[in-house]
Chains A and B, each alone.
Chain A
Amino acid sequence: MNVIKKFSLSILITLFLSVSANADKIRIGTEGAYPPWNSKDASGKLIGFEVELAWTLCRYIGQQCEIVEQDWDGMIPALIMRKFDAIMAGMSITDERKKAINFSQGYADEVASLAVMKGSNLEGMQTSEGINLTKKSGAVKKDLKTITQALAGKTVCVQTATIHQNFLESGDVGKVNVRTYKTQDEVNLDLASGRCDVALAAAVAFTDYAEKSKKPVVLVGPTFSGGAFGNGVGVGIRKDDTELLKAFNSAINKARKNGDISRIATKWFGFDASM
């Protein structure tokens, strides 16, 4: 009995110590499965644009950081439940998410795109280069109509709980047969296998996959921004953590002014995705 008591006491002490040791560190949650934003190298180490940016921002804030891995579909609940203090996971700033958490100013932006395998009958889709859904002009409406017709009866695959899923369910492109996946990797796999007729994600997610897998994935239709696609990617922070929000906002300002964000973005994206 005594042994058990001693043992559990020592566990409690260890737990307490490890909690208090982490107390002054900023813990940043990321997915580690959405290259080039965040991913893992062969040894399992977190890498990518946001991982490198996170270390840079922490230097400007002047506090120690720890990067924590978290599945995408539990990202916001995990933040709210204090498993970490900030999200940097390619998370676009949207009104829906703002109801649950705060966002720092945006640090990078991306466009979304549809993708198919080479040889698909969607390849010849005639639309403009890119559309911004914030202002639905006549040209945008015409493109949306073209896309609606093209997607009718097709299985469209997206990662769950993303702006891309929101867009497909927004009604802008009619009623679509949406299939949702836990990770973008799985979307890519099923696009390649033919289970998905077409997929929607960040354009860079597809070009990155096409490059690494040597699979004939091609982008079709316009690039999307605005509206359901949000206003850039920012740091997600709990509503009551106003101090941390201020710290991140000023760190982003400094990093932008010194050219850090655009330098890191160019390194990982191949173009300057910073904002």
Chain B
Amino acid sequence: MDLELMASSFPKLLNATLVTLKLLSLSLIFGLILGLFFAILRLNKNIILNRFSYFYSYIFRGTPLLVQIFIIYFGLGQIEFLRSSFLWIILKEPYWCAIIAFSLNTGAYTSEILRSAFETINKGFIEAGDSLGISKKIIFYKIQIPIAIRQSLPAYGNEIILMLKGTSLASTVTLMDLTGVAKYIISTTFKPIEVFIVAGGIYLFMTFIIHNFIRYLEKKYSY
């Protein structure tokens, strides 16, 4: 066990963790917006909107994240007319390709989490609002959404942790995230165990923080 290498690679890996956190937070923000949007479509009675939302989550939950990244990064890069369009400004960058893939993926899972949360809301809450003469819109924003968010916290916490680990796939499209830099250090030192232990430790620490933060939120908003 080369402790010196572990110590010297730690600051480099910590630096790369910033890239990982940036990827994670941006994907989660976009994913949450997408998820909420598609969850609402799913609850809609309109069959086309409903099916469209179902299809989206079916595709992105039914294929591996790695395949999704490869299709978006290498696949779309092969299409001539995309390359000459304005979209190429975004698709040219590995960073944005990764964010698009991560957002679409976590968006699909988030939409399912939120949908089930909406569906399990006690009808009594809505009826109570109704009987007080509150409009449907206010009931949705002030009663249904807050309860749905509280209901989905445990499952969503899981999703954040899965996504954190999913960001390690960014290294497959040349991004120098935590895993990418770990691989880079290994490629010059040929010592995978030491470097991966340090990188794994950093991932574990981040999961620990996320896990406890969600637990805290769950307690705070329990009813």
Contacts and interface: CB of A to CB of B under 8 A. Distances in A.
Interface of A: 73-74, 76-77, 80, 96, 100-101, 160-161, 179-182, 186, 189-190, 192-195
20 contacts: A73-B183, A73-B187, A77-B186, A77-B191, A96-B188, A100-B190, A101-B190, A160-B183, A160-B184, A161-B188, A179-B174, A180-B174, A180-B184, A182-B172, A186-B74, A190-B74, A193-B77, A193-B78, A194-B92, A195-B92
- Between B77, B92, B188, B190, the greatest number of chain A beta carbons within 10 A of the residue's beta carbon is seen for B190
Interface of B: 74, 77-78, 83, 88, 92, 94, 172, 174, 183-184, 186-188, 190-192
B77 A190 contact: yes
B190 A76 contact: yes
A223 B174 CA distance: 26
Contacts of A192: 78
Contacts of B94: 179, 195
B187 A161 contact: yes
B77 A195 contact: yes
Contacts of B186: 73-74, 77
A7 to B, nearest CB: 31
Nearest to A169: B188
B190 A77 contact: yes
For the complex of A and B, the 7 pairs showing the least CB-CB separation, nearest first, are: A161-B187, A193-B77, A100-B190, A76-B190, A77-B192, A179-B174, A77-B190
B78 A189 contact: yes
Nearest to B171: A182
Contacts of B83: 193-194
Given A190-B77, A194-B92, A195-B77, A160 B188 contact: no
Contacts of B191: 77
Given A189-B77, A193-B77, 20 more contacts: A73-B183, A73-B187, A74-B186, A74-B192, A77-B186, A77-B191, A77-B192, A101-B190, A160-B183, A160-B187, A161-B187, A179-B174, A180-B184, A190-B74, A193-B74, A193-B83, A194-B83, A194-B88, A195-B77, A195-B94
A182 B73 CA distance: 14
B177 to A, nearest CB: 13
Contacts of B192: 74, 77
Contacts, number: 42
A214 to B, nearest CB: 14
A196 to B, nearest CB: 10
A100 B189 CA distance: 8
B74 A189 contact: yes
Contacts of A100: 190
A181 B78 CA distance: 17
A160 B183 CA distance: 9
Contacts of A96: 188
Given A180-B174, A180-B184, A80 B92 contact: no
Contacts of A74: 186, 192
Nearest to B88: A194
Contacts of B187: 73, 160-161
Contacts of A161: 187-188
A96 B189 CA distance: 9
A55 B126 CA distance: 75
A118 to B, nearest CB: 15
Contacts of B188: 96, 161
Nearest to B172: A182
Given A73-B183, A194-B83, A181 B190 contact: no
- Between A96, A182, A193, the greatest number of chain B beta carbons within 10 A of the residue's beta carbon is seen for A193
Nearest to A180: B174
Contacts of A73: 183, 186-187
A190 B174 CA distance: 11
Contacts of A181: 174
A180 B186 CA distance: 14
A161 B189 CA distance: 10
A101 B74 CA distance: 34
A108 B42 CA distance: 62
A163 to B, nearest CB: 12
A193 B72 CA distance: 13
Contacts of B74: 186, 189-190, 193
B176 to A, nearest CB: 8
A4 B153 CA distance: 40
Nearest to B80: A193
Contacts of A160: 183-184, 187
